[in-house]
Structure 1
Amino acid sequence: MRKKKYHLYLTAEEIRYLFNALLAYRNKMLAQGRYTDLIDEVMIKLQK
């Protein structure tokens, strides 16, 4: 069974806010020595 896909339609301001929040969370995970692969993938998709 395939997973349902969702699409978000965000303004430029919302994208910038979300990107900054993900960046802060990524930095927190790096400081703890944890993997950030999933966060990196989301950030790349957000930039497209």
Structure 2
Amino acid sequence: MKEQKYHLYLSDDEYRQTIQSLVRLKNNLISQGRYTDEVDDVLCKVLSAKIRKLKIKYIYM
């Protein structure tokens, strides 16, 4: 079965909050003595993701 891909478009603030949340989750798991492998994988994917500049057009109704 082919793995489904997802795309996230985050602003600078959302990107920073995502990284902070993942690090906080990893620290909580470490303090509980649980594995952090999955959080590490997601954190690496977010940190190594390409940064794209997008123009957003707003349509006012």
How many residue pairs match? The answer is 48
What is the identity percentage for the equivalent residue pairs of Structure 1 and Structure 2?
Answer: 42
**Higher helix residue share:** 1
Please report the RMSD computed on the Cα atoms of aligned residues, expressed in angstroms: 1.0
Deviations 1:1-48 (A, max 9, x none): 213211111111111001101111110000010000110111111112
Segments of structure 2 that go 5 or more residues without pairing to the other structure are 49-61
AA partner of residue 37 (structure 1): D
TM-score, normalised to structure 2's length? 0.71
Relative contact order (C-alpha < 8 Å, sep 6+): which is higher? 1
TM-score normalised by L of structure 1: 0.86
- Alignment of 1:32 onto 2:32: yes
Larger radius of gyration: 2
